[in-house]
Structure 1
């Protein structure tokens, strides 16, 4: 297996984003769909329940089934893409993604829709690792990579912001199946852009080692069990989650043993020892934990404690989306001026400051919530861009898809853990259900106190991760390529 750090190929690469606009458009569209898929369909759950006579359990599996398979399979498909071609995997995944979404037209029962959503999750996992991996194939210059990454992320954030609104408008005039069928022309557009805008895979840059199927199975099982355990904690408490968590630990141990003893591991743990890579992953995990705390809590507080409508609560979260979009063009300038060694800790510090402000002051006035959302959004955008580029630059060229999948998975698992922590602390503080918070001042105070405790606890963990990451990153220049 190659262990050389990414190097520029002999052929000169483009010197501007405009020169490769079809490729950037295609990758942006892929990321847009990844960000939209579950959030748009959530708007249609009441209609789905009525049309298909779906139970609450059915609705849970319609969304959870997709999330589990999407998050759990990214690492495995990243390794497969590195071996057989990232562009090839992306095109196959997009084609199957279009067919899976089109299959919704044949759905007549909740079980059939769950199967369709599972298929969509699998095909989305096939495409996800390739988004950043193919982006890194386009450019050599660090500033262009930052710019391209920021642009692709911006498109996804715009979709995330307007997606539920667009979905609600579509449902006013068209059946809910339209929300899935709309993905078909989007996938076709992405296929055309990537097919003609990105060069074919070079066999010399593929991972030539045999595919580690046992490692892929164990890694996928571990991630799925971790995500499922976190879901069970939030929805049913620790008693229901512990058996699954135990199985996840056993699977994780087996995965580590397998990867450390096999001659050709799916992912070489030695790569994580590289200071730049391990620091970037720690930053991403910290951001996943922190953003989970504020994302989970704010909407509940606005609706349950302050009595805002769902539409008002959605507007209340706009400062986060607006700042994420607004700061995008400035990320490159911030990094150029400060360097990654200062920009990443600064961005992480903004996230930590936002979390503390929300924990201590968010209950008193919406202004403090807006400030907290703005700070966390700005910091998250800076850190996410730097960390993503750093992980990809710190790994061998024949493991770029695996690296992109590792980056995405670390955030997803950390986010699930963060939501589980908040959900557990809130549930422990309340004697009844969340629905009772709205009608009881005592329950509302208990909810706010528990959110404060949970947010401060996660902030402390984030601070430890950020401190470690900053110290680890400081070693990167001296140990580059280690």
Structure 2
């Protein structure tokens, strides 16, 4: 008898929709900032809070949300998150001031934090076959990449036709469709009962929010207050989680080579990716003269390559093993950053570099995530998924801060000494002055080369970590352990009887 969940591929569509709504919203918002600021009279500080309030709340709540999903039900928590995200998006369309929009973004961050860990944890509980799980993760990752690249394009088209409010309106029907499909198709699953860890939750929220704030502020200098809060709270969190009998986050997972290798290598990969969109979108618009929509369309080669190689990577991972596939993908990614660093002054070169980057990411990231998630016990899938999300978010934020700082300092150093200070710090200001525009574009070229050399170094470092830490063995053959068989039988029974799926002896 086939013990696999009969609706698993339909469930994957629901999970992809849930992830897509989060990714598209954040990327579409980046092109909505100018009209939004003009309409609401938002200051530069207001804009910063509109963009960052979501990320601060999202990053701070991820670990707690993952723990809640394991405890109270992953489908339930995901649906609550989608409801909150959709309602907050609707509220954002009605905002008449920057303060109201910031409040809506905070609520959206809470909803996003509830949704994100649940999607991956449900995926690994529904797809019990190793080969199918790899394909499902590849599809999930490809949809996330599609949203990342397509968000600015969709946002530009919507804003041109319906105004900035449309980037929030689009979330409402997608969230509603995902909720309806989840209720109809998806089984409930949860881990065994565990004693709550409120102190761990509070410390993680404070520590991660302060850490993300510190990283985001690096471009303006070190925020010592937030840095001290982050260090104290996260240190206390680690000590508490290692000492308490019922930790919210199973830190012992880092003793597993696959989990540690996958986590650390993904962090460095995301450092490179985090700065990519930031630096390249400015290059396309201020140096090459692209419109925001054209800049979004310029990322299509990377999206196509990612879609293609996510599937290829799933097949290679099954044949070669996680380590070989992940290392290969990361080396290919480094080569893509290298091409951007050496030459990026033509559309052909840009397209080739982005295709190489997308191919490398398609090979590396799903494989590293598969290795990481394969080390997590099913009963801790929610908090394990949240740990993966947190690691990647921290890496991306660090990438934006570090690579953004490299780009800014390199650009400033390459600008003429007699240029106004504002023009030496911002190419957006410099290109408005005809006397400085050519020098500014040349300076940004040099800055981008230095930035992508740093990105390539980070991804090569990730490849070294993956080579040293990930296990080299190929995936286990189709023979299953008694525990796996029992889990699959439980999944099928839950699907057939519409009862909640409770893993690991709940």
TM-score (normalised: structure 1) = 0.88
Tell me, yes or no, if structure 1 residue 388 matches structure 2 residue 369. yes
Q: Is the 8 A contact 1:283 1:383 kept in 2?
A: no
Tell me, yes or no, if structure 1 residue 421 matches structure 2 residue 397. no
Tell me, yes or no, if structure 1 residue 97 matches structure 2 residue 85. yes
1:265 maps to 247
**Distance of aligned partners of 1:121 and 1:389 in 2 relative to their CA distance in 1, 3 Å threshold:** same
**Residues 412-443 of structure 1, C-alpha deviation per residue, up to 9 Å, x if partnerless?**
11111112112222332306122255434444
1:406 maps to 387
2:3 maps to 12
Q: Report 1:307-456 matches (<5 A).
A: 307-359=289-341, 361-363=342-344, 365-429=346-410, 430=412, 432-435=424-427, 436-438=429-431, 439-456=436-453
Tell me, yes or no, if structure 1 residue 227 matches structure 2 residue 208. no
Deviation for aligned residue 1:138: 1.4
Deviation for aligned residue 1:196: 2.0
Q: Report 1:250-261 matches (<5 A).
A: 250-261=232-243
Q: Is the 8 A contact 2:31 2:155 kept in 1?
A: yes
Tell me, yes or no, if structure 1 residue 24 matches structure 2 residue 12. yes
**Residues 234-279 of structure 1, C-alpha deviation per residue, up to 9 Å, x if partnerless?**
3xx224x343223222222122112122221111221111011111
**Distance of aligned partners of 1:178 and 1:372 in 2 relative to their CA distance in 1, 3 Å threshold:** closer
Bigger shift: residues 43-52 or 65-74: 43-52
TM-score (normalised: structure 2) = 0.84
**Residues 25-51 of structure 1, C-alpha deviation per residue, up to 9 Å, x if partnerless?**
211110111111122233333332233
Bigger shift: residues 441-450 or 118-127: 441-450
**Distance of aligned partners of 1:245 and 1:26 in 2 relative to their CA distance in 1, 3 Å threshold:** same
**Distance of aligned partners of 1:82 and 1:106 in 2 relative to their CA distance in 1, 3 Å threshold:** same
Deviation for aligned residue 1:322: 1.9
Bigger shift: residues 116-125 or 460-469: 460-469
**Distance of aligned partners of 1:221 and 1:477 in 2 relative to their CA distance in 1, 3 Å threshold:** farther
Task: For 2:54 and 2:365, locate their aligned partners in 1 and report how far apart those are by CA, in whole Å.
Answer: 24
1:209 maps to 194
**Distance of aligned partners of 1:318 and 1:128 in 2 relative to their CA distance in 1, 3 Å threshold:** same
Task: For 1:111 and 1:302, locate their aligned partners in 2 and report how far apart those are by CA, in whole Å.
Answer: 32
Gaps of 5+ in 2: 414-423, 476-482, 484-506
**Distance of aligned partners of 1:137 and 1:467 in 2 relative to their CA distance in 1, 3 Å threshold:** same
Deviation for aligned residue 1:477: 8.4
Task: For 1:166 and 1:419, locate their aligned partners in 2 and report how far apart those are by CA, in whole Å.
Answer: 23
Q: Is the 8 A contact 1:437 1:447 kept in 2?
A: no
Task: For 2:60 and 2:34, locate their aligned partners in 1 and report how far apart those are by CA, in whole Å.
Answer: 27
Q: Is the 8 A contact 2:313 2:325 kept in 1?
A: no
Q: Is the 8 A contact 2:331 2:459 kept in 1?
A: no
Over the aligned positions, Cα root-mean-square deviation in angstroms equals 2.7
Say how many residue pairs are matched: 462
Q: Report 1:123-272 matches (<5 A).
A: 123-201=111-189, 206-234=191-219, 237-239=220-222, 241-272=223-254
Deviation for aligned residue 1:471: 1.4
Bigger shift: residues 316-325 or 460-469: 460-469
Report the secondary structure of 1:43's partner residue.
helix
Task: For 1:331 and 1:84, locate their aligned partners in 2 and report how far apart those are by CA, in whole Å.
Answer: 34
Deviation for aligned residue 1:56: 2.2
Task: For 1:477 and 1:222, locate their aligned partners in 2 and report how far apart those are by CA, in whole Å.
Answer: 37
Gaps of 5+ in 1: 1-9
Task: For 1:42 and 1:294, locate their aligned partners in 2 and report how far apart those are by CA, in whole Å.
Answer: 14
Q: Is the 8 A contact 1:28 1:152 kept in 2?
A: yes
**Residues 126-174 of structure 1, C-alpha deviation per residue, up to 9 Å, x if partnerless?**
0110111111121221121111122223333333333333333333443
1:5 maps to none
Task: For 1:277 and 1:423, locate their aligned partners in 2 and report how far apart those are by CA, in whole Å.
Answer: 29
**Distance of aligned partners of 1:334 and 1:79 in 2 relative to their CA distance in 1, 3 Å threshold:** same
Q: Is the 8 A contact 1:290 1:351 kept in 2?
A: no
Task: For 1:383 and 1:43, locate their aligned partners in 2 and report how far apart those are by CA, in whole Å.
Answer: 29
**Distance of aligned partners of 1:22 and 1:409 in 2 relative to their CA distance in 1, 3 Å threshold:** same
Task: For 2:443 and 2:153, locate their aligned partners in 1 and report how far apart those are by CA, in whole Å.
Answer: 32
Runs (4+) of structure 1 moved beyond 6 Å? 475-478
1:301 maps to 283
Tell me, yes or no, if structure 1 residue 72 matches structure 2 residue 60. yes
Deviation for aligned residue 1:330: 2.1
Tell me, yes or no, if structure 1 residue 286 matches structure 2 residue 258. no
Report the secondary structure of 1:267's partner residue.
coil
Task: For 1:126 and 1:212, locate their aligned partners in 2 and report how far apart those are by CA, in whole Å.
Answer: 17
2:31 maps to 43
Task: For 2:473 and 2:88, locate their aligned partners in 1 and report how far apart those are by CA, in whole Å.
Answer: 43
Tell me, yes or no, if structure 1 residue 457 matches structure 2 residue 449. no
2:489 maps to none
Report the secondary structure of 2:464's partner residue.
helix
Q: Is the 8 A contact 2:63 2:387 kept in 1?
A: yes
